[in-house]
């Protein structure tokens, strides 16, 4: 039973750090969105397009989670947005304490929205509260329409599902209706925004969702 006890202790410590993060975000009036998706689901590219569409980069702050490299953080930095690289080594998720440490040295005074791009992984990040206001599942059409059933936790925990790479639909055996039905089986209320960063389709809907969610905080 020692293993279970340690896991409980880890989760308890995590939740305490998550509460501290939540308090800091509330004090600064910053909306925190936790983006969770597989490697290559298109999280970084979606953020690039988001900043291009929204302008005023001083309103945003990004934490980039990766097991190795800082190439995603460099891409975000080129958008003029403040970004912190969180390199987890071989750890498969970002925990609340890593987030807390990443706040150091940033004032957040002009920040309205913090985007956390979690480690590319559809399993482990879903289990950790990092103090975010909403988890968001990012899934690419190339991953297949059955994924909500195979990886239910992240879909259950999410306030929004963003389907990426819909420009690839003509070349894939991906059935949009089956996908929507599978999402609804796991989380009947969660909205789905269908996007392509190649054609720009759906990016405006995603931006509008962010703005609405931010205005709910005021």
Footprint of a second copy (CB under 8 A): 2-3, 6, 9-10, 38-40, 66-69, 71-72, 90, 92, 119-124, 127, 140, 142-144, 146-147, 149-153, 165, 167-168, 171-172
Sequence-distant contacts of 181-186: CB under 8 A, at least 24 apart: 182/145, 182/146, 182/147, 182/148, 182/149, 183/148, 183/155, 185/148, 185/149, 186/148, 186/149, 186/152, 186/155, 186/156
- Min. distance of Cβ 52 from a second copy in angstroms? 17
Query: Residue 93 or 133: which CB sits closer to a second copy?
Result: 93
- Min. distance of Cβ 183 from a second copy in angstroms? 14
- Min. distance of Cβ 62 from a second copy in angstroms? 16
Query: Residue 3 or 27: which CB sits closer to a second copy?
Result: 3
Query: Residue 6 or 23: which CB sits closer to a second copy?
Result: 6
- Min. distance of Cβ 197 from a second copy in angstroms? 10
The single residue listed with the structure tokens 């920040």 is 111
Query: Which residues, including other chains, have CB under 8 Å from residue 14's CB and lie 6 or more apart?
Result: 95, 96, 97, 128, 129
**How buried is residue 202: exposed, middle or buried, by Cβ count under 10 Å (0-12/13-18/19+)?**
buried
- Min. distance of Cβ 87 from a second copy in angstroms? 11
Query: Residue 47 or 210: which CB sits closer to a second copy?
Result: 47
Structural contact between residues 11 and 94, judged by C-beta atoms closer than 8 angstroms: no
Query: Residue 23 or 71: which CB sits closer to a second copy?
Result: 71
């Amino acid at each position: 039973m020692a293993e279970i006890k340690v896991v409980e202790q880890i989760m308890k410590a995590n939740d305490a750090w998550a509460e501290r993060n939540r308090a800091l975000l509330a004090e600064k009036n910053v909306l925190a969105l936790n983006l969770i998706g597989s490697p290559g689901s298109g999280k970084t590219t979606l953020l690039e397009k988001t900043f291009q569409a929204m302008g005023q980069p001083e309103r945003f702050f990004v934490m980039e989670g990766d097991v190795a490299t800082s190439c995603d953080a460099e891409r975000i930095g080129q958008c003029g947005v403040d970004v912190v690289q969180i390199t987890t080594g071989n750890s498969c998720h970002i925990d609340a304490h890593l987030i807390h440490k990443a706040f150091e040295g940033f004032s957040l005074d002009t920040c309205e929205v913090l985007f956390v791009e979690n480690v590319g992984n559809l399993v482990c990040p879903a289990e950790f509260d990092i103090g975010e206001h909403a988890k968001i599942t990012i899934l690419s059409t190339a991953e297949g329409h059955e994924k909500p059933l195979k990886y239910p936790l992240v879909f259950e925990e999410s306030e929004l599902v963003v389907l990426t790479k819909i420009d690839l639909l003509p070349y894939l055996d991906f059935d949009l209706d089956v996908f929507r039905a599978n999402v609804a089986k796991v989380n009947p209320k969660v909205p789905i925004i269908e996007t392509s960063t190649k054609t720009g389709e759906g990016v405006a809907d995603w931006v509008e969702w962010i703005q609405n969610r931010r205005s709910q905080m005021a």
